[in-house]
A and B are shown apart, each in its own frame.
Chain A
Amino acid sequence: MRISRRAATATAIAITSALVMTACGGSGGSSGSNSDASGKVEGTVKFQTWNLKTNFKDYFEGVIGDFEKKYPDVKIVWIDQPAEGYADKLSADAAANTLPDVVNVSPDLATPLAKAGLALNLDQAAAKYKDEYLDGAWKSHEMPGKEGTYAFPWYLNTGPMFYNKKLFKDAGLDPEKPPTSYDQLFKDALTMADKSKGKTAMLANAPAVEDFGRYGVKLMNDDMSKFTFNEPKGVELVEKYKELYDAKALDSGALTSVAESAGRKFQQQSIAMNPGGAGDLKKYKTEAPSLYKNIGITPAVNNTGKDNMYVQGLMVNSQSKVKPAAVEFAHWVTDAKNQMAFAHKVAIFPSTKGSLDDPYFSQDGGTDEGRVRVAAAKALKTAVNYTPAVFSEQMKTALKNEVAKAMQGKKSAKEALDDAAAECDKLLQQAG
């Protein structure tokens, strides 16, 4: 008996401490007081990137070295996290209050951190730098329902569509005229499936949130408090895709596919079109030379006139003990000069004003990479990040599952999207 009583006591202590522990972890968004980042630029700044060291070690060491030269009282400690498990790593660090001072984030990662009061409000702390960045890019780290901007915009990316000219030709489609509208895309996809007797699909992915955006579906209401992708336009998109799926114009694995599996299908030449970035071109060259010979590049179709873009940012830890130096360094990494230098290393695009007007982004130099670069830079000037910043992993899962049910015919498109929107609303509300 003695033991069970002790166990009970231990449980009680554990529960209490768990509550206390978590109570300390998230201070619930009262970051107003600690957004002051004025003071002397000094101290040791921990800077965390996401999987960039392997390929860009020299570049970052140069950027850091120059900064340390300019501010001799600052030492930068650079840590780089591998591809997998980044959100888990951030969660653990955030919960244990061991986040680095400057952290590489994307809007969906920045939002919860900002809500928990762990990200510095840069509208206050770095207001003087705001004008250096593209408006759209700066705003991409704004947070619905909470004043302020919580990360410096860093590099941008947008993907063209790659297509396989040989498969187009085999299906009797003009390899020089890839689809430029949704109507044509759907029509060509059906032709492709029909001509290949279901062996070759056009696309490998069921529609995800950015596809809804590109199709012109209104994703959320104006004050970003409710999801609206179940509007008639959204239903129409899902119905179209279902038609493709039934005709095998959408790969059979579309309902479970992830970016890598779609890429592999494209490399195996079992699908004819796949989104990608300029970096993929190099990959095709090395991994699938026979595909590379037949590759075509075209902008992703959209109904809105605006391409989708992906944004990376640098967040400053609001609990940092070296805020002035951290803000200064985060700005340094994302300033026009250093972003431009980065863009010359790899196919990314600077988020600073005027950078995209550089000749580097308007002259293709006659190479394929150059052409992708120029096209992407042009698209980026008007591109938007369709994925709402509040759209969490859990919401992505909910949407994907419901879309899959609609495609399989287990639910009507309308029913499925209604359910998905309801689930996402619930998750949004719980997020507070």
Chain B
Amino acid sequence: MTDISTRNGEPVASTGPATGSPATSRKARGAGRRTGVRTHLPSTPWLFLLPGFLVTGGFVLYPFLSTVGSSFTDQRTLIAGKWVGGANYQELVHDDMFWTALRNSLLYMVGVVPLLVILPLLLAMLVQNYLPGIGFFRSAFYTPVVASVVVVGLIWVWLLDDRGLVNAVLGVIGVGPVSFLSDQWLLLISAMLVTVWKGLGYYMIVYMAALGNVPRELHEACAVDGAGPVRRFFTVTVPAVRSTMVLVGALASVNAFKVFSEVYLMAGPNGGPGGEDTTLVMLIKQVGTGLTGRVGYASALSVVVFVITLGLMLLVLRADRKEDA
């Protein structure tokens, strides 16, 4: 890090004070990124990163290495494991439950993510500008996020029950009763809706912070040009929050893929009738927790979940970088 990179051949000084006028700033910004002026001591970044590394390394990454290790053993909660090589991974491939769980986790992601990328953005726009009482609405919309999942589960089970409020309403218009809570697919869809419902406020916040960055002048300029709200949304708002959308998409995908609570609470600890709604994380818990847990096999499942989510994340980040360039 001691050398000054001059890959694009621009003299170092040009990234400095010459960035005053708006006309040159764009170019200079790109240049500043690439030239990598030495603006700090070599040790500085590591000092900034040290606390974060200590915590995540010591309490997350290191323990996970032991998970990886035990995925090659037949360890149980209270019984030491012995090396079994790839036996757990082999078993997994032949385990119907694993494939069911993988299918459900993937379906969950596909169902939930588009909604969680778009709806919270619209919600954030709805509460973005000042109106009398808007603070109340903003806080209120955040309620589902902060309530514990257990409570949320209870409430929704009650609402979606054969004799719940939703079916009562459907009954009035002559539909139903729809057995949301006993059909394999309806259960999964209900759980997805709860996830979306609970996640709206969460991602709304992320978007709210990002929308604050959209220069108001831009909106006004477009409005003066006669662009309607829909066009302004696509030409001004979306490009401005695009990187946030990517972030939200990535987070929502990973969270959806690792869904546990919603399905657990709606479909029961077994994961729906006959376990047909089990997700991967539910399976990990079923298999691995408790005093009789098969820690080795559960570790193998965890490693698989980890690898898949890592793949997803890298895919999203890569797509983002490509568009960026």
Q: Do residues A87 and B289 form an inter-chain contact, with CB atoms below 8 A?
A: yes
B interface bracket (residues with beta carbon within 8 Å of A): 35 or more
Query: If the complex has contacts A28-B80, A91-B77, A430-B74, are A397 and B270 also in contact, measured as CB distance less than 8 A?
Result: yes
Q: CB < 8 Å: which of A19, A113, A407 contacts B78?
A: A113
Q: Which residues of B contact A88 (CB under 8 A)?
A: 289-290
Q: Which residues of B contact A19 (CB under 8 A)?
A: 69-70, 73, 80-81, 83
Q: How far is the CA of A394 from the CA of B275 in the complex (A)?
A: 12
Q: CB < 8 Å: which of B157, B268, B270, B290 contacts A392?
A: B290
Q: Do residues A26 and B79 form an inter-chain contact, with CB atoms below 8 A?
A: yes
Query: If the complex has contacts A255-B182, A261-B157, A397-B275, are A18 and B290 also in contact, measured as CB distance less than 8 A?
Result: no
The reply to whether the CB of B199 lies closer than 8 angstroms to some CB of chain A is no
Q: How far is the CA of A256 from the CA of B294 in the complex (A)?
A: 23
Stretch among A8-16, A184-192, A351-359, A369-377 lining the B interface: A8-16
The reply to whether the CB of A323 lies closer than 8 angstroms to some CB of chain B is no
A interface bracket (residues with beta carbon within 8 Å of B): 35 or more
The reply to whether the CB of A44 lies closer than 8 angstroms to some CB of chain B is no
Q: Which residues of A contact B69 (CB under 8 A)?
A: 11, 14-16, 18-19
Which residue of chain B is the closest to A10 with respect to CB atoms?
B65
Q: Do residues A394 and B73 form an inter-chain contact, with CB atoms below 8 A?
A: no
Q: Which residues of B contact A94 (CB under 8 A)?
A: 77-78, 291
Query: If the complex has contacts A11-B69, A14-B66, A408-B274, are A256 and B78 also in contact, measured as CB distance less than 8 A?
Result: no
Q: Do residues A256 and B270 form an inter-chain contact, with CB atoms below 8 A?
A: yes
Which residue of chain A is the closest to B82 with respect to CB atoms?
A19
Q: Which residues of B contact A24 (CB under 8 A)?
A: 80
Which residue of chain A is the closest to B285 with respect to CB atoms?
A88
Q: How far is the CA of A256 from the CA of B190 in the complex (A)?
A: 14
1/0 per residue, CB under 8 A from B, across A107-135: the answer is 00100110110100000000000000000
Between-chain CB contacts (< 8 Å), 27 pairs: A14-B62, A15-B68, A22-B295, A25-B80, A26-B76, A88-B289, A91-B78, A91-B291, A94-B78, A112-B77, A115-B79, A252-B181, A253-B179, A253-B181, A255-B274, A256-B182, A256-B267, A256-B272, A394-B287, A397-B275, A404-B274, A405-B274, A408-B274, A430-B74, A430-B294, A431-B292, A432-B79
Binding site for B on A (CB under 8 A): 10-11, 14-19, 21-26, 28, 87-88, 90-91, 94-95, 109, 112-113, 115-116, 118, 252-258, 261, 264, 268, 270, 392-394, 397, 400-402, 404-405, 407-408, 410, 427, 430-432
